[in-house]
Amino acid sequence: MDKRKMNIVFLGSSEFAVKPLKAIFDNGYNVACVFTQPDRAKGRGRQICATPVKKLCQDLGIKTYQPQDINDSVSLVTLKKIDPDLLVVIAYGQILSSAVIKTAKIMAFNMHASLLPKYRGAAPVNWALINGEKYTGVSAIKINTKMDAGPVICQKSIQINESDTAVTLAEKLSELSAELVIKVLSSIPSGKYTLIPQEESKVTYARKLKKEDGLIEWSKHSRAIINHVRGCLGWPGSYSYLNGKLLRILELELVNDSFGSGYKPGQILEVSKAGIVVKTGDGAVTIKELQAENKKAMKAGDFIAGHKVILGDVFKNCLH
């Protein structure tokens, strides 16, 4: 089958899906249309915003559909009329019903940002960082009705750097997805691909993060706290309370000095232009960048210059 005749319906919404869609388009594949999430209000101004995928489609001239529910009867009729050979699903944001999956004559496949069967679920990038993983990657899987449980078509791994955050790692995995999606598409006309069942005994899950997941527990080990901040950057964001005010913690650095005993986790040990040193369960970390509520992010030295930060004050897990 000529790739220009292969009828592809792409389903994606977030920034993660932009590079893969652009790669499909640039490589000459026929993208019949794109399904993406509805426009929604965002930010403090609550402005109505299109998804990043919709914005790309507008630039490329690709027709888009934005149903509230991809599984409703109207969407199903639309898909049947398009008669796709393939459904390519990347960071779409809705689970597909069996009826929708079956509209693809060849298959529906998904690019998932983990090395399945590890980290099935909505937040694999975040949890890989929070859990201190050294490697992660992208898996292309044939979609079935169970979330992220379909057989693996191919995978590729990358190393997680100590400087990586949820933002930078997602960018890297998006680029990897763009590479892998072309590999999968190029294998389909000849049928030269294999479907490898996932080992159920090795399954782990990456549930969606809630706002309260961002709260820092200073009693944990320093490395775990640093990993938490890296993994929560963006959403939900890591935060703590100091003198009754919420502060978002954006960057931490490990402190190698020993401060001895007699300090509480969360207690401020040093204040300087280099940062704010805070006691942890097994040592200390330096806050390098932070953000007060409704304010811009600041380097710790700049924050100290404009705010009262006192030695011995304690970061807490509640307002009072």
Residue 36 bridge partners (DSSP): none
What pLDDT sits at residue 148? Answer: 98
Q: 47-49 and 40-42: which strand pairing?
A: antiparallel
Count helices and strands (H / E) in the chain. Answer: 8, 15
Which pLDDT tens digit goes with each residue over 31-51?
999 999 999 988 777 889 999
What pLDDT sits at residue 222? Answer: 96
CA dihedral sign of residues 91, 230, 204, 202: positive
Mean pLDDT of the chain: 96
Task: Kindly list the structural domains of the chain, giving each domain's residue range(s) and its CATH number in brackets, ordered by start.
Answer: 7-202 (3.40.50.170), 211-306 (3.10.25.10)
| CA 320 to mean position of chain CA atoms | 32
What pLDDT sits at residue 1? Answer: 67
**How much of the chain exceeds pLDDT 70, in percent?**
98
Q: Are 259 and 267 in contact (CB under 8 A)?
A: no
- Which stretches of the chain are DSSP H helices? 18-26, 52-60, 73-82, 98-101, 124-130, 166-187, 222-232, 300-306
**How much of the chain exceeds pLDDT 90, in percent?**
92
**Structure letter (DSSP) for residue 9:** E
CA-to-CA separations, 305 to 275, 287, 290, 299, 300, in angstroms, rounded: 11, 15, 13, 10, 9
- Could you tell me which residue, 41 or 23, shows the higher pLDDT? 23
Residue 47 CA to residue 168 CA, distance in Å, equals 26
pTM over 0.75: yes
What pLDDT sits at residue 45? Answer: 75
What pLDDT sits at residue 320? Answer: 61
Burial class (CB in 10 A: 0-12, 13-18, 19+), 43: exposed
Which pLDDT tens digit goes with each residue over 305-319?
999 999 999 999 886
Task: Taking residues 44-61, report their average pLDDT.
Answer: 93
